[in-house]
A and B are shown apart, each in its own frame.
Chain A
Amino acid sequence: MEKTARLNQVCLPVDEANGLPNEHYTCPSVFKEEKDILLFGKWSGLAVSAQIPNIGDAVPISFQGTPLFIIRTKKNKVKVFQNTCRHRGMILIDRVKSIEGAIRCPYHSWCYSTEGSLISTPHVGGPGRNLHDAIDRSELGLTEIRSHVWMGVIWINLSGDAPKFEDNMKELIDRWSDFDRPLFHGGKESSFTIEVAANWKLAVENYCESYHLPWVHPGLNIYSKLEDHYHIEHKNKFSGQGTRVYQQLKDGNGNVFPDFADLNAKWETAAEYIAVYPNVLLGVHRDHAFVIILIPDGPEKTYEHIHLFYSKENTPEQLRLQNMKQWKLVFEEDVPVVEGMQRGRYAVNFDGGRFSPAMDNPTHCFHCWVANEVQNGLKHKK
Chain B
Amino acid sequence: MDSSIKNKIDLEEKILTAHQNNDGVKLAELYAKAAYTTSNLNKACFFMVNAYTLALECNHPDTLSFFQFLQKYDREK
Query: Which chain B residue has the least Cβ–Cβ distance from A104?
Result: B57
Contact partners of B8 in chain A: CB under 8 A: none
* Contact yes or no, A131 B57, CB < 8 A: no
Q: A128 and B56 in contact (CB under 8 A), knowing A101-B63, A120-B76?
A: no
Q: Is A119 an interface residue (CB 8 A)?
A: yes
* Contact yes or no, A131 B59, CB < 8 A: no
* Contact yes or no, A101 B56, CB < 8 A: yes
* Contact yes or no, B53 A101, CB < 8 A: no
**Which residues 21-77 of B have a CB within 8 angstroms of A?**
42-46, 48-50, 52-60, 63, 70, 74-77
Instruction: Tell which of A100, A119, A127 touches B46, judged by Cβ atoms closer than 8 Å.
Output: A127
Total number of residue pairs linking A and B with CB closer than 8 Å = 57
Contact partners of A103 in chain B: CB under 8 A: 57
Query: Interface residues of A: mostly helix, strand, loop or mixed?
Result: loop
Q: How far is the CB of B38 from chain A (nearest CB, A)?
A: 11
Instruction: Tell which of A102, A104, A129 touches B75, judged by Cβ atoms closer than 8 Å.
Output: A129
**Bound CA span A131–B45, Å:** 12
Give 1 or 0 for each of A105-149: 1 = CB within 8 Å of chain B CB.
Answer: 000010100000001101100011111000000000000000000
**Bound CA span A37–B70, Å:** 48
**Which residues 127-176 of A have a CB within 8 angstroms of B?**
127-131
**Bound CA span A119–B43, Å:** 22
Contact partners of B76 in chain A: CB under 8 A: 120, 130-131
Instruction: Tell which of B42, B55, B77 touches A131, judged by Cβ atoms closer than 8 Å.
Output: B77
Q: How far is the CB of B74 from chain A (nearest CB, A)?
A: 7
Instruction: Tell which of A109, A111, A128 touches B48, judged by Cβ atoms closer than 8 Å.
Output: A128
Query: Which chain B residue has the least Cβ–Cβ distance from A110?
Result: B53
**Bound CA span A103–B58, Å:** 9
Contact partners of A100 in chain B: CB under 8 A: 57-59
Query: Which chain A residue has the least Cβ–Cβ distance from B52?
Result: A120
* Contact yes or no, A120 B42, CB < 8 A: no
* Contact yes or no, A119 B75, CB < 8 A: no
Instruction: Tell which of B45, B57, B77 touches A111, judged by Cβ atoms closer than 8 Å.
Output: B57
Among B50, B56, B77, the one with the most A-chain Cβ atoms within 10 Å of its Cβ is B56
Instruction: Tell which of B49, B55, B63 touches A128, judged by Cβ atoms closer than 8 Å.
Output: B49
Query: Which chain A residue has the least Cβ–Cβ distance from B63?
Result: A101
Q: How far is the CB of A266 from chain B (nearest CB, A)?
A: 49
Query: Which chain B residue has the least Cβ–Cβ distance from A128?
Result: B45
Q: How far is the CB of B15 from chain A (nearest CB, A)?
A: 15
Contact partners of B56 in chain A: CB under 8 A: 101-102, 104, 111, 119-120
27 pairs of residues in contact across A and B, judged by CB atoms under 8 Å: A100-B57, A100-B58, A100-B59, A101-B55, A101-B57, A101-B58, A101-B59, A101-B63, A102-B59, A103-B57, A104-B54, A104-B56, A109-B53, A111-B53, A111-B56, A111-B57, A120-B52, A120-B56, A122-B52, A122-B53, A127-B45, A127-B46, A128-B43, A128-B48, A129-B75, A130-B70, A130-B75
Given A127-B49, A131-B76, 10 other A-B residues pairs in contact with their CB atoms under 8 A: A101-B55, A102-B59, A104-B53, A104-B56, A104-B57, A111-B56, A120-B56, A120-B76, A130-B70, A131-B75
